[in-house]
Amino acid sequence: MKKKLAVFLVLVFALSLCAAGCGNSGKVTINVLNWGDYIDEDLLDQFTEETGIEVNYQTMATNEEMLVKLEASDCIYDVCFPSDYVIEKLIEKDLLHELNKENIPNLANIDERFLDLSFDPENKYSVPYMWGTVGILYNTTMVDEPVTSWDILWDEKYGQQIFMYDSIRDTIGVALLKLGLSINTRDEADIKAAETALIEQKPLVLAYLGDNIKESMINGDGALAVVYSGDAMWCIDPEEGNPDLDYAVPESGSNLWFDNVIIPKSSQHTAEAEAFINFLCDAEVAKANTEYIGYSTPNKAALALLDESYTENPIYNPPQELLDKCEIFHDLGDFINVYNDAWNNIKGQ
């Protein structure tokens, strides 16, 4: 008798775990996985009001983390925002749902410049969400020379005042750019050179951080930081940021990146997920979103609604000459292991 009771208790316990995981039926809920600070969360409520679709919103910190979650066999996500080179890998691994463009009429709002890019020709699987450059955010009260080259991040004058990203491709990419090499190199000697450069730089680095670079720079904790252009917009913002900060993309060129909306193949709610993507491509929604995050929108209908402080701002809307000198990340295939070893050597040093 008691044994039965115990078995019953175990079952109840197991079922309650399952119920907590499975959520309520009836209303459709889509699981959205995004970067931290990367959407105006009021828009999520607006989406639920307009469509009745609930959104379960979660965040992560790096592309690699997202890739791990999307590759997992129990992937629960319906919408996700990976960058260019990750999309390439996801397509290759056949993990993406082919978009039904009839459900995304607002795709017409996207600037042609940002469609049909090398990582997803014809945009079969992805819609560009935000884009930008990588550059150097600096505090003008601590740096009085013009920032024109990546070399400044190796200048001993700024020892213990430099922030770098705790992100493998971004940080190795900066070293490759400094050395005048391609950020998509598959040459082991190039990676060795970048590794040596970053180990040499390590004593000057105050910290390898993620999103908290923004707050640290606003507080004046460091003189120089490698940041994405959108974060620079956010940090320089006179109301919430620090007006002493400025942003420069080195003249020799940089990384041009795109974050894109995708639907994993495992999604059970593709139509609802497409409705969400369509919602994000709406001009007014994209405008509110870009104003909130500070990242550049690829949505030309939204750009037309923005005021001059965005459209005329070279950080938000860099000139085409600069973009021509920038390179987009590509998936490295198995060569990423060479990057990984280099990264471990740099971080473990």
Q: Are 221 and 214 in contact (CB under 8 A)?
A: no
- Shortest Cβ 252–other proteins spacing (Å): 26
> Which among 3-11, 44-52, 229-237, 312-320 is the span making contact with other proteins, rule CB under 8 A?
3-11
- Shortest Cβ 67–other proteins spacing (Å): 6
* Residue type at 61 in one-letter notation: A
Is 347 a binding residue for other proteins by CB under 8 A? The answer is yes
Q: How far apart are CA 62 and CA 75, in angstroms?
A: 17
Q: How far apart are CA 169 and CA 160, in angstroms?
A: 22
Residue 211, token pair as written in the block: 């999103």
Contact positions with other proteins (CB under 8 A) in 166-185 = 166, 168
Q: How far apart are CA 229 and CA 310, in angstroms?
A: 12
54: enclosing H helix or E strand: strand 54-60
- Of 220, 240, 251, 268, the one binding other proteins by CB under 8 A: 220
Q: How many CB atoms lie within 10 A of CB 28?
A: 16
Report the interhelical angle of 270-281 vs 42-51 (nearest 10°): 120
Size of the site for other proteins (CB under 8 A): 39
**SS3 state of residue 266:** coil
Is 65 a binding residue for other proteins by CB under 8 A? The answer is yes
- Shortest Cβ 181–other proteins spacing (Å): 22
> Which among 189-197, 199-207, 265-273, 299-307 is the span making contact with other proteins, rule CB under 8 A?
199-207
Q: How far apart are CA 9 and CA 221, in angstroms?
A: 54
> Which residue, 199 or 323, has its beta carbon nearer to other proteins?
199
> Which residue, 186 or 300, has its beta carbon nearer to other proteins?
186
Q: Are 254 and 326 in contact (CB under 8 A)?
A: yes
Residue where the block lists tokens 């090398």: 118
Q: What is the DSSP letter of 55?
A: E
- Of 16, 100, 160, 252, the one binding other proteins by CB under 8 A: 160
- Of 28, 179, 207, 288, the one binding other proteins by CB under 8 A: 207
Compute the half-sphere exposure of residue 44: CA atoms within 13 Å on the CB side of its CA.
16
Is 319 a binding residue for other proteins by CB under 8 A? The answer is no
Question: Considering only CA atoms, which of 214, 197, 236, 238 is closest in space to residue 315?
Answer: 236
- Shortest Cβ 90–other proteins spacing (Å): 12
Phi, psi (deg, nearest 5) at residue 91? -65, -45
- Of 13, 50, 309, 312, the one binding other proteins by CB under 8 A: 13
Q: Are 270 and 185 in contact (CB under 8 A)?
A: no
- Of 10, 15, 19, 304, the one binding other proteins by CB under 8 A: 10
> Which among 27-35, 127-135, 207-215, 294-302 is the span making contact with other proteins, rule CB under 8 A?
207-215
Is 11 a binding residue for other proteins by CB under 8 A? The answer is no
Is 68 a binding residue for other proteins by CB under 8 A? The answer is yes
- Shortest Cβ 166–other proteins spacing (Å): 5
User: Applying CB under 8 A, which residues contact other proteins?
Assistant: 2-3, 5-7, 9-10, 13, 62, 64-65, 67-68, 71, 160, 166, 168, 202, 205-209, 212, 216, 219-222, 334, 336-337, 340, 343-345, 347-349
